[in-house]
Structure formats: C-alpha cells, structure tokens
Structure 1
C-alpha cells in the first residue's frame, strides 16, 4: 500500500501507528512519501517476528555452548601433555673427602610425589621411595648429629641391657650380621621411624585413627602397637626385613609421613626419614648416609633369612618355639 503525506511529521506519526499495530492484521509494506524523500517501513506478522527472534536466541545459545565445549577440550588436552616432576640427583659432590658418586644433600624431592603411589598387587602398603637413611645402633653414645643416646628406646627403658650389650657397628667386630662379642637377645635387624604411638599415659589421640593395624594390635594402654612391626627395606635389587624398635630420627610425631604421603621433615641428617641397624646396613651394603625405599609388611610377607634367627622379640623365633612346644607336648602324649 502507498500513502502520500505532506510532511515528515505526518509520516512519522503514520509510522508509529503501524509500529503499535502488533495486534492488527499483518501489513507487508508501508511507504510514505514526503516531498521528494521516501520513508519505507517494512512489517511482518508480529508473531512471526517473535518466532524469528526466538530462533536467533536459540542459535546464539547453541554457538556459545559449542565454543565453551571446544575451549574445555583444548584445556584438558594441554593438561595431559604436562610432564611429571622429576627427582634429580647430583652427579658430583663439592665436598672434599666424601663419596663423589652420591651426595644426599643434592637430592630434590617434589612435594606430594608419593600421593600417586599405590600398593603393588598382593601388597597392602605402598613403598616409600628415595628416603634418606642413616645408621644407628643400640648403645650408641650421643655425638655429631646424634644428640640422643640409644641406651634406651621409646618403648624399652632397658634396651641395651635387654639386647645383651652394645650392638658394635664396626664391621671388624661383627660376623654374620651380629657383634662377635655376644649373641643378641633381640633381633639384630631393627629400625626406627619418626613416630611413637605411645603418650605418657595411654596412646596419642590420633593413634587409633592413623595406625592402620591399631585395632588388631591393641593390647591395652601400656603397650605400643608399633613396636616389633615388620618393614621391608630395599636398596637396588636387595631387600632386607627389620622390626620397628624405636622412634626417630629426630622426631616422634610425624605420622603424616610414616603412615601418609608426606616427605620426611628437614633435619640435621639431610632430611633422614629412616634409621637402620648395622645388620641391615651390612645386608644391603649401605653407606653411613644413603637412600633406600621402605614399606610396612604383614608378617606373612616376610621370608626367612638372617632376620629370622635371633631375638626374644622376633616373630619367627616366637612362632618356632611355640611350634616346638606343641610338638613336644604331642610327643609326650604319644609316649604315654
């Protein structure tokens, strides 16, 4: 349709009229002529216009979702290519007189690197890897970086006496993983970890929660659930087994490392997290300060070896004696 109007104001009035006519029958085209200028206004069905706008909004939303998904895909792809942190070892020590093939002071660990470790098939407890390991012995006097004498342990006030004497560390005075001057009355394969489950009275409040075997091993408030527990210690392709007999080095409260995923805390012995006896040292061929892997083991995982032959506290010896006693009792019954 075509309308002729005399001035621009009339044309605009006419335009506003048609713009407000959304409920009126549809107009396909309106043209207003003002002098020599033409004002054209195009209209479509109001409901058709609304539907078209809705389609545009849906299309815009779909594009936004698609772009978001693509961005997320690229973000995940970037993460998957990130290289894991590496543990670095120095190839050369700058300290004269020390073993230049290995320098534990140069070891760099990534915090939380054990978080991904899982027990191997058939094993309940995972390996704690690359742990700085030092040598200690029953009866050791304080000196150097060892401020505490080892006459007693966290769980045995008469440790040296009950062992039978000082566990002489000098290889010249040892044979078959034992001192030559006496036969130990306790297992010469022993170790220390920086946690003590005992308090002055009873057990530490966190012990029932953090010690995995606490409930099964509990024998009352006066008895440690950690003492005599077996651990495996690995160096290269050799594995020794030892019983946990003391708390240390340096700390007695670091359950987050002993039972969790923390690394050992810094200390005077280059962050040592494990002390082992001269017998363990000799079996594994360790230096005074070295690096090993270790993990807790159930007794049924421990094979027989030099760690299974001596000691009143040795599970092998205790079980063998019980079996021998049972056998004698059976033979006595048959003889009657």
Structure 2
C-alpha cells in the first residue's frame, strides 16, 4: 500500500557522506563527440534547453558558459529568467533509458508511493526526475531536484540506493558521485566554479520535507519526455 503524505513526512533517507561533486549546467557542451556530452538535452527531457528557458549562465562567443552565483538574487542566473528550477543535479541512475537501471526500479524507496505505484514497467515514466535531494558542504545546506543522470555511470544502484557506505563506481571526474548546477555551486559555496569539489554529502528527501528557500521559487514539475512534438509548459 502506498504511503500517505502524512506518513511520508519524516521518512529518513541515508546520508552519502564526503563525496566528490562536479558541475554542469543547462546548455553546456563539454564534449560534442560524446553521446552524453551535451546538456542541451537530459536523460529525461529531450527539450531540456527549451523548457528551462535557454542557457543557464552566460553566452560568450556563442558558447553557453557558467557564471558565479550569489545570494543577492537567490543564486539565479543573471542574464536570463529560468522557466524551471535552477537548483538541479544528477545522480548515476537513469531509471528509464538504461536497461540495468530500469530492471532495478523496484529498489527505489518511493516506488510504491502514490503518484509512482504501478509504473515499474512504464518506459515513459521516471521515478527519478524531479525528486528532491538535500546537499551539505562545510556547514551549508541546500536542496535541488534531479533533472538528469550521471556522471559517467547510469546504473549505479548500490551507490544511489545502497547502505550509504558504498561510493560511486565511476573513477572519472575524480570519482564524482553527482553533477550539480551553478545555483547549487553558489548556494553551497564551492571553491571551484567549474570543476570538482570534495567533501559534499547528500541524501534524498521527500517533497513535504523540503523547507522554504530559493530552491522553491520555481519547482519543476514536467515529467519524462523525449517526444518529437516540442516542449510543453513546465
């Protein structure tokens, strides 16, 4: 039986402690030759760039670049108005497109919750997209929604849904266990604007337990969509 919203409040997820995070942003193209080298699209949205509202940063010489973010404007981009939540991240579990991850969707803790139950065999439904994650770094706490999968791995079920003691299986990007957006980089106070940051901890959190903050100015609600009909409303 699915859990009610009342019962969901207070569900405790395990912390994943002292990991490496790297940065990414909507509109970034870091390797045009790689199948996963563009953030114009995401694992869950073939129209990510359009739905977000464009480059999550600044365009310099025709290239979408990241930029520093500050609390003065809620860590939002300075040169555009996003249509979706600029606080986003990915984790290495693509529950729709990766066959190994798809087969493990039953391990997702909220798989039987209202709004999710009954979709285990549905290839047009993601259990991961829009889920909230709490992140901490050197005393700062921020929240973000999952909007993509990676880095480097896409079926790392033991890390993402394990006992909290299993690290990422990927050794790329200094063994990074997540990519985070420029808003998260600014909110947590990373020393690297566009690189890797060690010492980041994270855990899942249910939406009813997400406190008010700049991460709730816009909450992304669009589901999985790789249709060819063009972007719909958020």
TM range (shorter): 0.7 to 0.9
Task: Call closer, same or farther: CA 1:239–1:200 in 2, change over 3 Å.
Answer: closer
SS in 2 for 1:233: strand
Name the structure 2 match of 1:197: 95
Q: Rg bigger for which structure? A: 1
Name the structure 1 match of 2:17: 129
Task: Show the 5 A alignment for 1:288-327.
Answer: 288-291=195-198, 292-313=200-221
Deviation at 1:299, TM superposition (A): 1.4
Task: Calculate the TM-score normalised by the size of structure 1.
Answer: 0.53
Name the structure 1 match of 2:56: 167
SS in 2 for 1:178: coil
Name the structure 2 match of 1:87: none
Deviation at 1:196, TM superposition (A): 1.0
How many corresponding residue pairs? 190
SS in 1 for 2:185: helix
Q: Distance in 1 between matches of 2:86 and 2:69?
A: 16
Task: Call closer, same or farther: CA 1:311–1:219 in 2, change over 3 Å.
Answer: farther
Pairwise CA RMSD of aligned residues? Answer: 2.4
Name the structure 1 match of 2:83: 185
SS in 1 for 2:148: strand
Q: Distance in 1 between matches of 2:128 and 2:170?
A: 23
Higher helix share: 1
The answer to whether the 8 A contact 1:184-1:311 is kept is no
The answer to whether the 8 A contact 1:192-1:276 is kept is yes
Deviation at 1:263, TM superposition (A): 0.9
Task: Call closer, same or farther: CA 1:213–1:263 in 2, change over 3 Å.
Answer: same
Deviation at 1:142, TM superposition (A): 1.9
Name the structure 2 match of 1:285: 189
* Pairing 1:233–2:135 present: yes
Task: Call closer, same or farther: CA 1:229–1:309 in 2, change over 3 Å.
Answer: same
Deviation at 1:274, TM superposition (A): 1.1
Task: Calculate the TM-score normalised by the size of structure 2.
Answer: 0.74
Name the structure 1 match of 2:172: 268
Q: Distance in 1 between matches of 2:79 and 2:173?
A: 30
Q: Distance in 2 between matches of 1:200 and 1:230?
A: 21
Where in structure 2 are there 5+ consecutive unaligned residues? 1-9, 58-65, 223-234
Deviation at 1:153, TM superposition (A): 0.5
Q: Distance in 1 between matches of 2:75 and 2:154?
A: 27
Deviation at 1:223, TM superposition (A): 1.1
Where in structure 1 are there 5+ consecutive unaligned residues? 1-121, 315-336
* Pairing 1:212–2:109 present: yes
Task: Call closer, same or farther: CA 1:219–1:211 in 2, change over 3 Å.
Answer: same
Equivalent position to 1:259, from 158, 161, 177:
161
Higher relative contact order (CA 8 A, sep 6+): 2
SS in 2 for 1:215: coil
Task: Call closer, same or farther: CA 1:172–1:212 in 2, change over 3 Å.
Answer: closer
